[in-house]
Amino acid sequence: MASVKDRNASAWLLPPVPGTNHAMRANMAQFRDEDEVDVVIVGCGAGGSTLLQRLARAGWKAVALDAGPFWDPERDWVSDEAGSHHLYWTEPRIISGDDPVPLGSNNSGRGVGGSMVHYAGYTPRFHPSDFHTYSADGVGADWPLEYGELKAYYEDIEGELPVAGEHWPWGDPHSYPHSPHPVSGNGELFLRGALASGITAKVGPVAISNGRFGNRPHCIYRGFCLQGCKVNAKASPLVTHIPDALHHGAEVRADSMVTRIEIDDRTGKATGVHYVRHGRARFQRARIVAVAGYSIETPRLLLNSACKRFPAGLCNDFDQVGRYLMVQGAPQTAGRFESEVRMWKAPPPEVSSEDFYETDPSKPYKRGFSIQTVSPLPITWAEHVAAQGHWGGKLREYMSDYVHWACLGALCEFLPQPDNRVTLSSEKDRNSMPVAHFHYSQCDNDRQLMEAAQGAMEKILYGAGAEEVITIKRFAHLVGGARMAADEQRGVVDADCRSFAVPNLYITDGSVLPTQGSANPALTIMAVTARAANRLIAGGAGKATKTTQPARPATA
């Protein structure tokens, strides 16, 4: 097996001190719109960046367009909650349904690196059971591939991020490339409460370097993972895959909002993408188009790319685009302890348990949930307290007591439902593109999981000695909307992320996931994309000639 550096040298292409390799960005390849590149990728988050890096290393002429900026962590990110909202996708969207899902900070990203720029760094794998929930449990959907087909890609990505954690006993038991991080008061209380409650808990897995990794430094435990990691210890595509992609001749074209995919009426193939950059409408030609805009923007783009061949939206012959969009139930339960906890003094996810992940035949619901430490910072903590109805003097009292609280969060596997979907509204955005309308309602199984998760977290906190507990109900992580399936009547893409309807159109983001498990999706999105890239490279489709762009020097 090739070493991490041999297959992805990003960590060694960063400066030896926290910062950005500005020379590499300044000298990156610059393709012209009229150049027919081998692939144009829409979006530069978990899926788009992984695909860009893999194809560039294979010699493809590859360009990735992202609607947001090309972040410079030292310049653009701050250790402040209120000063970090520019990391989120805050363009207008319409929400509806019985349980409308707020969109923004914890489920959307803006800029190169996507939502992994502001995720907590928690990177568990999906379980083998996640790939056949319908066959095994009668709910959800079966994937057109099995866990074993992703295992090697999981291992590769875990090494490239890298992931730190204890040996993992759940799902497919496995170890991680880095040893676990030390835990703070929040993690210690989880471990104590889990032991008292007969629940297994482990430290990790987090995509945060434990020790120096290439030129990336050790985590300094500043607690601002959700605001962007200024020191480059936490993994995001901005530091884990983009540097190597640029070094091998790829281009990242930031501030470029893609509005439509062009289809040749004669051949039925994609010929490139229309996009707006700095107020100017442009068109990038490409042999292959790959969409990685995530679960709201990807269906929105496909639906807005309606044409003579696809009057109801691109790849939408069977009304599958935008359907089966899922969120995870993500309630957070906090407990007050007499001693100070100072839960912010570490990465938010430190300790977790997947004891409740699988379907328990003794329970009235199917599938399950996971539990992990979360460490809300003061503004978010104020939202937790205010959600209990506390205001004025009582709110100030709770806020002054912040150092005494510990907080756990659950991820509940909400089920895919066809009417939970993205459509286009009549409202237009600043680019005259229809705004996405996201309709969402929970089912009874979803609600039962939320209640069960809250009960389990309360048990752990009381087991650790909590005097009082409070819970806020919330949601996280979008997946689905253009799911993979065995055939075009049940999905949008096949197991290789290739669309059924357009032979040179791929989708490589979380929208292709048929189910979501009780795991954060970033690692699985990257593994699915790495597999798709490998199969695309092996087939050679769309590749014209090896890029003539030289590999860029690793100078800072």
Domains of the chain as residue ranges with CATH? 2-84+103-539 (3.50.50.60)
The secondary structure element, H or E, covering residue 427 is strand 421-428
Nearest CA among 241, 276, 245, 242 for reference residue 258: 276
Residue type at 40 in one-letter notation: V
Q: How many other C-beta atoms lie within 10 A of the C-beta of residue 13?
A: 23
Question: Which residues on adjacent β-strands are paired with residue 329?
Answer: 412, 475
Distance CA(343)–CA(57), nearest Å, equals 41
Looking at residue 553, its pLDDT comes to 34
Q: What is the pLDDT of residue 556?
A: 34
pLDDT higher than threshold 80 for residue 1: no
Given the DSSP bridges, would you call strands 94-96 and 434-439 parallel, antiparallel or unpaired?
A: parallel
C-alpha to C-alpha distance for 324 and 55, rounded to whole angstroms: 29
Please name the residue that has the structure tokens 């506390």: 390
pLDDT at 123: 97
Write out pLDDT tens, residues 17-48. Answer: 878 899 999 999 999 999 999 999 999 999 99
Average pLDDT, the chain: 93
The pLDDT value given to residue 17: 81
Which tokens is 135 given? 């066959």
Given a cut of 50, whether residue 504 has pLDDT beyond it is: yes
Q: How far is CA 79 from CA 139, 223, 407, in A?
A: 42, 9, 20
pLDDT for 438 beyond 90: yes
| Residue 194 phi, psi (nearest 5) | -65, -45
pLDDT band at 392 (very low <50, low <70, confident <90, very high): very high
pLDDT band at 155 (very low <50, low <70, confident <90, very high): very high
pLDDT of residue 83: 78
Kindly report, residue by residue over 138-154, the tens digit of the pLDDT. 999 999 999 999 999 99
Element (H, E) at 16: none
What average pLDDT score do residues 218-236 get? 88
User: What is the model's pLDDT at position 107?
Assistant: 67
What are the DSSP calls for 398-410, one per residue?
A: HHHTGGGEEEEEE
Q: What is the pLDDT of residue 265?
A: 92
Q: What is the mean pLDDT of residues 207-218?
A: 92
User: H helices within 161-206, ranges in order?
Assistant: 185-197
Q: Which residues, other chains included, contact 501 with Cβ-Cβ below 8 Å and sequence gap of 6+?
A: 310, 314, 315, 316, 317, 488, 492
Tens of pLDDT along 516-526? 999 999 999 99
- Please, which pLDDT band fits residue 456 given cuts at 50, 70 and 90? very high
Rounded mean pLDDT, 159-178: 97
Strand runs (DSSP E) across 242-331, as ranges? 251-253, 256-263, 270-277, 280-291, 326-329
CA distances from 177 to 4, 158, 166, 197, 296 (A): 11, 7, 10, 30, 33
Q: How many residues does the chain have?
A: 556
Stretch 271-299: mean pLDDT, rounded?
97
Within 10 angstroms of residue 452's Cβ, the number of other Cβ atoms is 19
- The answer to whether 174 and 527 have CB atoms below 8 angstroms apart is no
Per-residue pLDDT band at 12 (split at 50, 70, 90):
very high
Give residue 348's pLDDT: 84
434-439/421-428 β-pairing = antiparallel
* Distance linking the first and last C-alpha atoms of the chain: 29
Is it the case that residue 548 has pLDDT exceeding 60? no
Q: What is the reported pLDDT for 333? A: 97
Which pLDDT band, with edges at 50, 70 and 90, does 541 fall under? low
375's tokens: 């460490």
Q: What is the DSSP string of 333-355?
A: EEEE-SS---TTSS-S--EEE-T
pLDDT exceeding 90 applies to what percent of the chain?
Answer: 83
Q: In terms of Cα–Cα distance, which of 276, 273, 262, 271 is closest to 314?
A: 262
Structure confidence at residue 543 as a pLDDT band (50, 70, 90):
low
Q: Each residue of 393-427: pLDDT tens digit?
A: 999 998 999 999 999 999 999 999 999 999 999 99
DSSP characters for 441-492? ---HHHHHHHHHHHHHHHHHHHHTT-SEEEEE--EEEEE-SS-B-SSTTT-S
Q: How far is CA 98 from CA 362, 435, 438, 442, in A?
A: 29, 20, 12, 7
Give me the DSSP letters along 496-527: TSBBSSSTTEEE-SGGG-S--TTS-SHHHHHH
User: Residue 554 — very low, low, confident or very high, per pLDDT cuts 50/70/90?
Assistant: very low
- Among 342-356, 358-372, 407-421, 480-494, whose mean pLDDT is lowest? 342-356
CA separation, residue 359 to residues 136, 138, 171, 328, 355 (Å): 9, 11, 12, 16, 10
CB 391 within 8 A of CB 162: no
Give the span between the Cα atoms of 299 and 148, in whole angstroms.
28
How high is the pLDDT of residue 2?
A: 78
Residue 521, both tokens: 């999706």
User: 492: number of CA atoms within 13 Å, CB side?
Assistant: 32
